[in-house]
Amino acid sequence: MLLKRPLGIAMQFARWIADLDWRFILLVLPPLSLLLFLSISSPANPFSNLAPLRSILLNRTLPRGAVPAAANLSAAPSAPAVAPRPWKDELDRSRIAVCLVGGARRFELTGPSIVERILKVYPNSDLFLHSPFDENAFKFLLLKSAPRIAGVRIFRPEPMAESAPELRVLTASNSPNGIQGLLQYFNLVEGCLTMIKSHQARHNFTYDWIVRTRVDGFWNAPLDPDNFIPGHYVIPPGSTYGGLNDRLGIGDLPTSTIALSRLSLIPQLDQAGFRQLNSETAFRAQLNTQNVTHLTKRLPFCIVSDRQYAFPPSRYGVPVATILSKGPLSGAKCRPCTPVCRGACVGRVMPVLDKGWSWTQWENGTLELCDAHGEWETGWEKIFDRVAGKALAKQRKGVWRLKVKDCVSEFEKMKRRTVSWEAPAADEMCKVGLGYAR
């Protein structure tokens, strides 16, 4: 089954330029990558051994609506004789892994919102962070106030081997890096699943739920318990780029295991005849071929982006929301800006966008747009602080006032609270980040 590709190469290229922030990972660190490439010959694909995963996939025989045995959540829905407890109480008694992936670029804006509106809302949840090391990694110390930190892995990115199935299944989108960008991103996501599995194995339990999202998401409202639906994978609507929005996903362990197995399922997509997929179309193919049903639910976060986009957006352009928008923005791109387009203007601009591409829900005044063709406007900090509130604003400012010594001691504190820690020395992350060792 070949994916329909209504778009020309120019569109693919436009999207390459316009959308995929994670591809910066490679651009930001070319000297390092090159060095590692020269010193390490053909790094092994860490997921080439499919045996454990396959067993999980083959054993995925839960009926629709069932929950994993360990969850013990089915008691309420299936036993109406017992007064059903609110779902949130059930979730508070279950085991939740929150997986954050991506680079820390503007984490001083997004991190505290993730802590407040996801992690502290589910104080029983275990945080897993999987991120490439760069000069912004020191900002991850903002996670020190997370209720529970199970795993932190901040790694030095290196080029990944490209297998024949990967080269067939994935699109290079005219990129000078070929499919590296996609592979690096898939590795970030699946690496988080690997961390979760190893934590489960080491501590002899399994999670009931995995919440997977990105470090560059700004949350303006709490994650609602309604988004945890047994037997289904929940994703936001919009920003589908021909497939499914892959900026966040929530599911039980079986569905999440499939959703996060972005590298190891590629051979199966290859066998099924899929070709030239981007991240979103590969994601859809992955869920469909494994019989995972997804549900879309609007979610109150946007992806904070420094990218510049033409305004007004064309059919395949990208709308950029102001972070002041009421939302829910379901993972649309945003920045702190004075809106140039609201109300009736949004009603004129948004219907132009292709519904199967970068379109996002905009009705009823939930979305207000930025003219994002240039840099962030002067005074963006005030706009951010207005929407973020005092406590988050304080954290944003605090990061840049840190001295190396304090940065290191904060990191050490966070490390002591973390079950599994794999990262460059705090001293290095802090010095590189705060500009003492470039």
Q: Which residues bind ligand NAG (CB under 6 A)?
A: 55, 59, 72, 75, 204, 290-291, 361, 363-364
**In angstroms, what CA-CA distances link 293 with 27, 106, 246, 393?**
35, 33, 14, 39
Residue 7 vs 282, nearer CB to ligand NAG: 282
Question: What is the smallest separation between the CB atom of 193 and ligand NAG, expressed in angstroms?
Answer: 16
| Identity of the residue, 32 or 76, whose beta carbon is nearer to ligand NAG in the bound complex | 76
How many other C-beta atoms are found inside a 10 Å radius of the C-beta of residue 323? 25
- Beta strands in 117-190, from DSSP E residues, in sequence order: 126-132, 149-155
H or E segment to which residue 190 belongs: helix 180-203
Nearest approach, Cβ of residue 361 and ligand NAG (Å): 5
Q: How far is the CB of 258 from ligand NAG (least distance, A)?
A: 9
CB hemisphere CA count around 315 (13 angstroms)? 8
Q: How far is the CB of 51 from ligand NAG (least distance, A)?
A: 8
Distance CA 269, CA 282 (A): 8
Shortest distance, CB of residue 52 to ligand NAG, whole angstroms?
Answer: 8
Question: Three-state SS for 139?
Answer: helix
Q: Do the strands 248-252 and 209-214 form a parallel or antiparallel pair, or are they unpaired? A: antiparallel
Pull the structure tokens for residue 170: 């994935």
What is the DSSP code (8-state) at residue 100? E
Q: What's the min distance (Å) between Cβ of 5 and ligand NAG?
A: 25
Q: How far is the CB of 102 from ligand NAG (least distance, A)?
A: 28
What does DSSP assign to residue 119? Answer: I
Residue 42 or 72: the one with the smaller Cβ distance to ligand NAG is 72
287 vs 392, which CB is nearer to ligand NAG?
287
Question: What is the number of the residue whose Cβ is closest to ligand NAG?
Answer: 55
Nearer to ligand NAG, 136 or 361 (CB): 361
> Using CB atoms within 10 A of its CB, is residue 24 exposed (0-12), middle (13-18) or buried (19+)?
middle
Helix axes 279-289, 253-260, angle to 10 degrees: 140
Nearest CA among 223, 298, 208 for reference residue 257: 208
Give the span between the Cα atoms of 159 and 59, in whole angstroms: 33
Residue closer to ligand NAG, measured from CB, 55 or 78: 55
Sequence-ordered alpha helix ranges (H) in 41-179: 51-58, 75-78, 87-92, 107-114, 164-169
41 or 364: CB nearest ligand NAG: 364
Q: How far is the CB of 67 from ligand NAG (least distance, A)?
A: 11
Helix (H) or strand (E) holding 260, with range, is helix 253-260
In this complex, which beta carbon is closest to ligand NAG, that of residue 41 or of residue 363?
363
Considering beta carbons, is residue 7 or 367 the nearer one to ligand NAG? 367
CB of 40 to ligand NAG, least distance (A): 32
Beta bridge partner(s), residue 248: 213
Please give the Cα distance from 254 to 287 (Å, whole number).
Answer: 11
